[in-house]
Amino acid sequence: MGAAVAFAAVRRGYSVLLVSRTESKLQQVADSIRELHPGAQISVSATDILDPHSVRALDAALATDREVDFVQSAGLSAVSYEIADANPYRRVEDIPPNLPSLEFDVVVRGLLNVVQTFLPRWEQQSETRLVVVGSMSGIRAYPLGYAHASAKAGLHHAVRSLALELCKRRIYVSEVNPGAVNTGFYDGVEVQAAVRLISKEFGYDYTGKEFPQAPPLEIGELAVQCLIADAHVLTINAVAKGQFPHQGG
Ligand SMILES: NC(=O)c1ccc[n+]([C@@H]2O[C@H](COP(=O)([O-])OP(=O)(O)OC[C@H]3O[C@@H](n4cnc5c(N)ncnc54)[C@H](OP(=O)(O)O)[C@@H]3O)[C@@H](O)[C@H]2O)c1
């Protein structure tokens, strides 16, 4: 999703710094974006947002004469961390004991490190946008969601709390909560089986059909809308057409 946000931001003329732990992956993303936009201002930084030293080094390396907004779309994808069958949607008896806190840690503690480190810079800026790509999993519960939905619900309230606390300092915090997005996350057999089962609980039977997923660039564009809107966008909830659109618990 980060690649899609970066692409959408480059199209709007932003100078983009891509951040994750793996420099080689970031370089690949940057190269693909440069191929499509030869003039793109895009660079990379291998940073672990769970490591305060690493985030401080990122901040220290950034120019002080430019304003910095931040979009967080880090997460616990199957390729980043070991999850059995690459599937976080599991029956409660099959949830590894460390999974709920691991999922929560990456998104909530990672965001805290970023905010605590960048706050002095942001307070000096004329205004700041902080956009967090959360998930519809944080907005509504579903079966098989003990770890994933609880972590994303925690993130949702962390972001809501930040929005209330930081707006008085001209730091405008937004969240974009997608349903399923076609990033490869749903390609695995186990994940497909689980999400089809969950969908049935809400009366959506995709047997013999494609499971609806939003194109990543759609979500990238929504995140960039939060950066450029005159309004303080609080929350955007978006599911692919055809996915169950319920928002309640
Ligand atoms: N894909 C979907 O369908 C979907 C739907 C709804 C919500 N979401 C949520 O939206 C967010 C973005 O989605 P996604 O599919 O792009 O997520 P993702 O694949 O889980 O993670 C995105 C990136 O986060 C980086 N990352 C993980 N831990 C990190 C750390 N400690 N420090 C720095 N970077 C770290 C990973 O790169 P490295 O491993 O190289 O660090 C990875 O490239 C996630 O929170 C996800 O749960 C996804």
249 pLDDT band, cuts 50/70/90, is low
Ligand 1 pocket mutation, candidates 185, 186, 236, 237, criterion most atoms within 8 A of CB: 185
Give me the helix-helix angle, 23-36 and 2-11, nearest 10°: 40
The dihedral built from the CA positions of residue 28, 33, 37 and 40, taken in this order, carries a sign that is negative
47 pLDDT more than 80? yes
**What is the residue type of 42?**
I
80 pLDDT more than 70? no
Cα separation, 65 vs 165, whole angstroms: 26
How far, in Å, is the centroid of ligand 1 from the Cα of 60? 24
61 pLDDT more than 70? yes
Per-residue pLDDT tens over the stretch 105-160: 999 999 999 999 999 999 999 999 999 999 999 999 999 999 999 999 999 999 99
173 pLDDT band, cuts 50/70/90, is very high
Ligand 1 pocket mutation, candidates 58, 133, 186, criterion most atoms within 8 A of CB: 133
Give me the helix-helix angle, 110-124 and 148-166, nearest 10°: 20
